[in-house]
Copies of this chain bind each other. A is one copy, B any other.
Amino acid sequence: MVLDGRLCYGGDYNPEQWPAEVWKQDVELMRQARVTLVTVGVFAWSRLEPAPGRYTFDWLDQVLDLLHAGGIRVALATPTASPPPWFSLAHPDALPVTADGVRLHHGSRDTYCAAAPAYRAAARRITGLLAERYADHPALALWHVHNEYGTTCHCHHAEAGFRRWLRDRYRDLDALNDAWTTSFWSQHHSDWAQVSTPRATQYLPNPGQVLDFRRYWSDELLAAYVEQRNLLRAATPGVPVTTNYVLGDWVPVDHARWAAEVDLVAIDHYPSDAGPAAEEQIALAADLARGWARHGARHHARATDGDLPGARGSWLLMESAPNLIYTPGRMHTREPGRMARHSLAYVARGSRGAMFFQWRAPRGGAELFHSALVPHAGPDSRIFREAVELGGMLDRLAEVDAGVVEAPVAIAWDAASGWALQQRALPSDRIHHHTEVAVAHRALRRAGYACDPVLPGDPLTGYALLVLPALYLADDDTAAWVRDHVHGGGHVVIGYLSGVADEHARIRLGGYPGAYRDVLGVRVEEFHLLADGEEVPLTGGGTGRFWAETVRVAGAEPVDAYAAGVLAGQPAVTRHRYGDGVAWYVSTRPDEGTYQRLLDEAARAAGASPTCPDAPPGVEAVRRRSPEASWLFLLNHTASAQRVPTAGIDLLTGAVVEDAVTLPAGGVAVVRERAGA
């Protein structure tokens, strides 16, 4: 997907919102900004098929021809994320139903049940017509299926689908009863007909049911995607197919498993904090996308002519906001230059470009204040001027697409663990797998280590250190994966709430963390939650927060200990030699500095080293490497100039870097490193 040797740059383009005279201006402005790729048609169903069976493709023909004439490639979208109003009236049974039984109505987007046969048939129909019509269009570079799969439903189609999925998974009703622990609260099913979606009920729901409902929807939505993909692939075997992932706790999609079915992992990403956490969120999201991409079936090798094959783990930032950061209750305007720095931060971590939602700000509609490359004020605006600058920068960086991101640390991330930790009645309502991963990722990033997210079972060759932050679920294979890895010489840091439960979210009994007691040489008797703002001092000088535990050592040596309270004198952090490897256990959430030092110590002991040991604090360093070259991305997130020792050529300026580069406040350098440097 490096188009004609260039990185992807552009965004969602919705010509259906504008009269034809604007289209020409758009293409002209795109050329001015060096746009290479636009996503067309994401929400165009009601324009393509304004009434059932009445098709109006002519405007889209014109738009694609115009784009092609302008040298802009197209990610052509199937419009199935928003069926037209006529669809709702024709198929009321295909409208989604909430857990409360409320049937939703059209008037927004995404009002369909993806398990409803009528919806699936309609989606296949419009997709097939698009595939047929545009298979040979020269602008076509990528198929963009749907938009942000993620809606669920409790209608009778969904219930039937859930039951079918459960029968496939468990075969036997007793196995389901066992997995869901239906012996609790008299929930034993004696007939498949009694099994339903987790609808509104009197009190706490069954956590096994809720977890499997998420899994079912991931698979049902994936099936809906695959149906479309297959149609498109059949029509255009050489054109890659993708769908844009949406991130968030509510999303019932196991992105890693989906990766095997997409030709290019693509994510939409919108940081939710206007401060330095924005950069932390970007780094984590980009790393996650790369981790998912490493699980892909690599169909994107079948890329169209003129495209580079893409490095291992490369992916695409499909949507981001040009100007604004959406914080709760308030849109924050990005400071000058920050959009470009953010875009390059994604590219540094493996994105094959930077795409935005959307090209031109709409006059109306639900998201009329959503950020755009051409804002309401038009092209004579800071935003568009920065877009032009960014286009120039990306143009000079195409070669980095061949580089694989270097990472000596692996960090486990698992969708199902995240879902399982959303159950109610946990020890705290602040427990989130994603948060625990983010805390560890932040500490590693501050310590200067790049890391790759991995899934249980992934090969770990090449990683000096493996970190498991609240990897709550562990089936026997996962337990063995960790055990064998450490036994064979691997180093692992395991955080609290890891391996506590099996794949059905049932507790592994006998002491936490059930799956890893042997590897860790510890046995946890009980947990102790700290109140908000409460800290427990550690003998090593730091503090623990949020969570603490009664840790009984059984072979492990204490590394740090609680220094006060009922746990005073008892171990907080332990280390255990197991086979040829080392396993650390962290039973609390250390303060940032302590956690950073701890992970740094564990990483160094495992033989890892930071990406750029001499980078000053606040300068993020990421390296991509190909067999032929390496590129060092240096992103200065501070408000003053920073000097970083390195040598090579700064691609953005073309300047030769002799021994160091000086980054202005907020500045970026991408240095093609001198061999041997």
> A residues within 8 Å of B by Cβ?
14, 16-17, 43-47, 50-51, 54, 79, 82-86, 88-89, 96, 100-111, 151, 180-191, 193-196, 198-209, 274, 323, 329-333, 335-336, 361-370, 375-378, 380-383, 424-430, 504-507, 509-512, 523-529, 531, 550, 566
Q: B residues within 8 A CB of A96?
A: 202
Chain B nearest Cβ from A41, distance in angstroms: 10
Among B106, B429, B430, point to the contact of A187 (Cβ < 8 A).
B106
- Which of B54, B181, B194, B505 meets A88, CB within 8 Å? B194
Give the docked Cα–Cα distance between A83 and B46 (Å). Answer: 43
Please judge, given known A-B contacts A85-B194, A186-B47, A566-B335, whether A506 and B363 are in contact too, CB under 8 Å: yes
Within the complex, the shortest CB–CB distance from A585 to chain B, in Å, comes to 15
A378 and B196 CA atoms in complex are apart in Å by 34
Cα A377 to Cα B552 in complex, Å, equals: 11
Q: A17, B183: Cβ atoms under 8 Å?
A: yes
User: What is the minimal beta-carbon distance from A513 to any residue of chain B, in angstroms?
Assistant: 11
**A195–B88 CA distance with the chains assembled, in angstroms:** 11
Contacting pair B507 A206 (CB below 8 A): no
A331 in complex: contacting residue of B50, B187, B529, CB < 8 Å: B529
Q: Are B362 and A181 in contact (CB under 8 A)?
A: yes
Q: Determine whether the beta carbon of A108 is less than 8 Å from that of B529.
A: no
Give min CB distance, A134 to chain B, whole Å.
18
**Residues in chain B near residue A88, CB distance under 8 A:** 194
Question: In whole Å, how far is A603's beta carbon from the nearest beta carbon of chain B?
Answer: 31
- Max chain B CB contacts within 10 Å: which of A333, A429, A511? A333
How far, in whole Å, are A511 and B379 apart by their CA atoms in the complex?
10
Question: Of B50, B84, B109, which one neighbours A203 at CB under 8 angstroms?
Answer: B109
**Contact across chains for B47 and A188 when beta carbons are under 8 A apart:** yes
Contact yes or no, B201 A107, CB < 8 A: yes
User: Known: A186-B47, A202-B110. Is A377-B524 also a contact (CB below 8 A)?
Assistant: yes
B184, A43: Cβ atoms closer than 8 Å: yes
Cβ-neighbour of A566 out of B200, B331, B336, B526 (below 8 A): B336
Give A500's nearest chain B residue, CB to CB: B376
CA distance A186 to B78 in the complex (A): 12
Q: Which residue of B lies closest to A365 (CB)?
A: B184
- Oligomeric state, in number of copies? 3
The residues of B that contact A524 with a CB separation of less than 8 Å are 377
Q: Which of B329, B377, B509 contacts A428 (CB 8 A)?
A: B329
Measured between beta carbons, the chain B residues less than 8 angstroms from A183 are 14, 16-17, 47, 365
Knowing A207-B365, A511-B378, the reply to whether A196 touches B331 (Cβ < 8 A) is no
Tell me if A186 and B427 are in contact (CB < 8 A).
no
A330 adjacent to B428 (CB under 8 Å): yes
- 10 closest A-B pairs (Cβ-Cβ)? A184-B365, A181-B364, A46-B188, A204-B366, A85-B194, A82-B186, A108-B201, A105-B199, A364-B506, A46-B186
Given A185-B43, A367-B184, A509-B363: A529 touches B333 (CB 8 Å cut-off): yes
Nearest residue in B to A531 (C-beta to C-beta)? B330
Q: Say whether A367 contacts B204, CB under 8 Å.
A: yes
Of B104, B196, B424, B512, which contacts A105 at CB under 8 A? B196
CA distance A151 to B203 in the complex (A): 10
Query: Provided the pairs A199-B107, A429-B329 are in contact, do residues A526 and B375 lie with their beta carbons within 8 angstroms?
Result: yes
8 contacts between A and B (CB under 8 A): A45-B186, A108-B202, A180-B364, A207-B366, A330-B428, A363-B509, A376-B511, A380-B511
Q: Is the CB of A50 within 8 A of B364?
A: no
Question: Quick one: closest B residue to A207, CB to CB?
Answer: B366
Bound Cα distance A637, B199 (Å):
45
Q: Chain B residues with Cβ under 8 A from A430's Cβ? A: 329-330
Which listed residue (B43, B187, B330, B527) contacts A46, Cβ 8 A? B187
Q: In the complex, how many angstroms separate the beta carbon of A556 from the nearest chain B beta carbon?
A: 16
Q: Is the CB of B46 within 8 A of A427?
A: no
Complex: how many Å from CA A380 to CA B524? 11
Whether A189 contacts B377 in the complex (CB less than 8 A), given A108-B201, A364-B506, A368-B507, comes out as: no
In this complex, which of A43, A46, A428 has the most chain B Cβ atoms within 10 angstroms of its Cβ?
A46
Would you call A110 and B378 a contact (CB within 8 A)? no
Contact indicator B184/A364 (Cβ below 8 Å): yes
